[in-house]
């Protein structure tokens, strides 16, 4: 199985509520499978250790403990150094939050200084940190929530920096409910692997925590979908009756969680859990060994178990998807067609965007709205870009929120305006005002707007323009 990555990298976080689930072991094995099967020499994989209080991922990669990397800085050091820079340079945060934020961030603090290259071919590694006498103090004194509240955009730009360089970025998350685990589960990934063992402690709060992660993503400016993939680990095949009872139990638990979190009728995880489970093997209980590098891919082997999960994780859009999907146009973010209208809006204006979306659908028009039409696992940047290009009309909701935003809405506008400049133009742009805010862009100011201060009247204006696009 060869993997051809999309233009922008994918972040996959591995989380467990309790320790002792084999989460870090799963990260190491999946990282090695990715590096092994990825296409083209230019594509690489990065694995990062965010379990700062209890780091251990470095033990799986002997290269990281060589003398030249013994004092290598890692995740905590990067953010301590970045925090210091942001405090010294007053305008740096504004620059990082702007259009060229990725380049400015890396120029200000080179990520390459924190990376250990080629722990295996095509796989780079960032440790939790430099394990010196002051390590614990750096970890315990860094206020993640305070940092996030003050420099919110930095986490997003940091993620974009990593995904601009790597086809896949794997994150080994902190356990439990902490500030760091929140960053790893809600802010960083497109895919979230929930590693658990068959017991009450490990499954504690599954529904609540998955729902929180999904709801946080939906309420944010981050348009990427978040797909959750459960990974049952350390399953003892000798106890057949207990294994069957617990399989039924955790299958039901995750189906309920997905039904509530994704608002879908009845997700069926029967096929998924039939193939996905990591068996307990006593040989791997001692030391840190990577099964996919040590043993052949044979039936009942740990190597085979990780490969089964790896194929699901990389090729499926969701855990309840039936069958295996090859890397396809859909996964590359291009499963978008027959769009009449792309709706661009600030997250604070979602309610009116959704109302407009529903009214357009009722009028027989095909609108596209990120929160309604992005699917789990799709590359959100590519999908949005392609949706704008496919749409006949770009409907831009103008408000004080959209004009002051520095998020992706500005990027959407630039894409639409570039299409407008093409000859012949393949897009029709309608600015839609919902308050008295003036347009900043001169090209947009030259376009007559629809006014939704009187919603019904404004909707009728829009429909007069859009009805020809139905044909």
Domains of the chain, start order:
10-327 (3.40.50.300), 333-470 (3.40.50.10140)
pLDDT (0 to 100) of residue 39: 60
Structure token digits, residue 262: 């994704």
Residue in the structure block whose two tokens are 């033990």 = 59
User: Cis peptide before 211, with omega less than 30 degrees from 0?
Assistant: no
Which DSSP string corresponds to 242-279? HHHHHHHHHHHHHHHHHHHHHT-S----HHHHHH--EE
Q: What integer pLDDT is reported at residue 68 of this predicted model?
A: 65
- Could you tell me how far CA 384 lies from the centroid of its own chain? 15
d(CA 62, CA 58): 7
Other CB atoms within a 10 A radius of the CB of residue 263 amount to 8
- pLDDT for the residue numbered 110: 97
* C-alpha to C-alpha distance for 65 and 59, rounded to whole angstroms: 8
What pLDDT score was predicted for residue 6? 47
Query: What is residue 41's predicted lDDT score, i.e. its pLDDT?
Result: 46
pLDDT digits (tens, 9 = 90+) for 112-157: 999 999 999 999 999 999 999 999 999 999 999 999 999 989 999 9
C-alpha distances in angstroms, 357 versus 343, 361, 447? 8, 6, 22
Q: Are 42 and 166 in contact (CB under 8 A)?
A: no
| Residue 66: per-residue pLDDT | 67
- Where do we find the tokens 């003398």? 67
pLDDT at 387: 87
- Give the angle subtended at the CA of 220 by the CAs of 458 and 389, to the nearest 5°: 60
**What's the CA gap between 51 and 128, in Å, rounded?**
7
**CA 318 remoteness from chain centre:** 13
Q: How many residues does the chain have?
A: 471
User: What is the Cα 417 distance to its own chain's centre?
Assistant: 27
**If residue 396 lies in a helix (H) or strand (E), which one and from where to where?**
strand 393-398
- C-beta separation of 177 from 204 below 8 A: no
Tokens of 74: 């890692």
Whole-number pLDDT of residue 216: 82
CA distances from 226 to 83, 85, 217, 378 (A): 28, 31, 7, 9
* Residues forming a β-bridge with 15: 194
- DSSP per-residue string spanning 167-181: SEEEEEPPSSS-HHH
In angstroms, rounded to a whole number, what is the distance separating the alpha carbons of residues 91 and 416?
30
The answer to whether residues 308 and 276 touch, using CB atoms and an 8 Å cutoff, is yes
**Distance (Å, rounded) from C-alpha 167 to C-alpha 106?**
18
**Which residue's entry shows tokens 């233009």?**
7
> Do residues 194 and 229 lie in contact, with contact meaning Cβ atoms separated by under 8 Å?
yes
Nearest to 298 by CA among 312, 281, 316, 286: 281
Neighbours of 315 (CB within 10 A): 18
Q: What pLDDT, on the 0 to 100 scale, is given for residue 215?
A: 82
pLDDT of residue 426: 65
- The whole-number pLDDT of residue 395 equals 94
Digit-coded pLDDT (tens) for 43-77: 799 999 999 999 999 999 976 666 667 789 999 99
Angstrom distance (rounded) from CA 171 to CA 59:
15
Cis previous bond, 424, omega within 30 = yes
Spell out, as residue ranges, where the chain has pLDDT lower than 70: 1-7, 39-42, 63-68, 323-338, 377, 406-407, 422-426, 467-471
* Ramachandran angles phi, psi of 143, nearest 5°: -90, 95
* Cα–Cα–Cα angle for 315, 316, 319, rounded to 5 degrees: 140
Find, among 397, 371, 413, 393, the residue nearest to 453 by Cα: 397
- pLDDT tens sequence across 8-50: 789 999 999 888 899 999 999 999 999 988 765 457 999 999 9
Write down the mean pLDDT value for the chain: 86
213: nearest Cα among 250, 255, 169, 257 = 257
Res 434: pLDDT: 93
Q: How far is CA 143 from the centre of its chain?
A: 23
What local confidence, expressed as pLDDT, does residue 151 receive? 93
**What is the DSSP-derived secondary structure letter of residue 294?**
H
Of 421, 374, 416, whose CA–CA distance to 396 is shortest?
A: 416
């Amino acid at each position: 199985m060869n993997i051809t990555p999309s233009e922008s990298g994918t972040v996959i976080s591995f989380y467990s509520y309790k320790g002792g689930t084999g989460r870090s072991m799963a990260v190491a094995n999946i990282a090695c499978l990715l590096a092994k099967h990825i296409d083209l020499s230019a594509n690489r994989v990065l694995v990062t250790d965010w379990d700062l209080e209890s780091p251990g991922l470095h033990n799986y990669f002997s290269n990281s403990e060589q003398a030249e990397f013994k004092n290598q800085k890692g995740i905590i050091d990067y953010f301590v150094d970045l925090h210091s820079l942001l405090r010294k340079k007053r305008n740096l945060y504004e620059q990082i939050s702007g259009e060229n934020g990725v380049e400015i961030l890396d120029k200000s603090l080179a990520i390459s200084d924190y990376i250990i290259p080629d722990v295996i071919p095509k796989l780079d590694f960032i440790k939790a940190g430099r394990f010196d006498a002051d390590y614990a103090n750096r970890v315990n004194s860094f206020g993640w929530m305070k940092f996030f509240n003050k420099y919110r955009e930095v986490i997003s730009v940091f993620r974009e920096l990593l995904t601009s360089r790597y086809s896949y970025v794997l994150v080994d998350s902190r356990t439990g409910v902490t500030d760091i685990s929140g960053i790893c589960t809600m802010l960083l990934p497109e895919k979230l692997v929930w590693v658990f063992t068959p017991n009450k402690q490990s499954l504690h709060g599954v529904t609540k925590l998955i729902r929180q992660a999904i709801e946080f993503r939906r309420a944010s400016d981050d348009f990427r979908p978040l797909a959750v993939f459960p990974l049952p680990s350390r399953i003892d095949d000798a106890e057949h009756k207990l294994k069957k009872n617990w399989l039924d139990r955790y299958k039901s638990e995750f189906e309920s969680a997905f039904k509530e979190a994704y608002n879908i009728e009845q997700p069926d995880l029967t096929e998924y859990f039939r193939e996905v489970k990591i068996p307990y093997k006593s040989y791997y209980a001692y030391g840190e060994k990577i099964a996919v590098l040590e043993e052949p891919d044979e039936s009942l082997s740990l190597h085979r178990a990780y490969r089964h999960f790896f194929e699901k994780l990389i090729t499926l859009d969701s855990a309840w998807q039936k069958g295996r999907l090859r890397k396809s146009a859909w996964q590359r973010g291009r499963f978008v067609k027959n769009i009449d209208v792309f709706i661009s809006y600030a997250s604070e204006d979602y309610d009116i965007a959704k109302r407009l979306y529903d009214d357009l659908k009722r009028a027989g028009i095909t609108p596209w709205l990120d929160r309604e039409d992005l699917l789990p696992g799709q590359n959100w940047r590519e999908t949005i870009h392609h949706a704008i290009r496919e749409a006949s009309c770009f409907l831009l909701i103008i408000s004080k929120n959209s004009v002051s935003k520095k998020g992706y809405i500005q990027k959407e506008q630039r894409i639409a305006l570039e299409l407008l400049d093409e000859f012949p133009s393949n897009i029709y742009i309608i600015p839609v005002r919902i308050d008295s805010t003036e347009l900043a862009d001169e090209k947009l100011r030259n376009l007559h707007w629809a006014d939704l201060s009187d919603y019904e009247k404004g909707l009728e204006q829009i429909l007069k323009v859009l009805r020809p696009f139905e044909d």
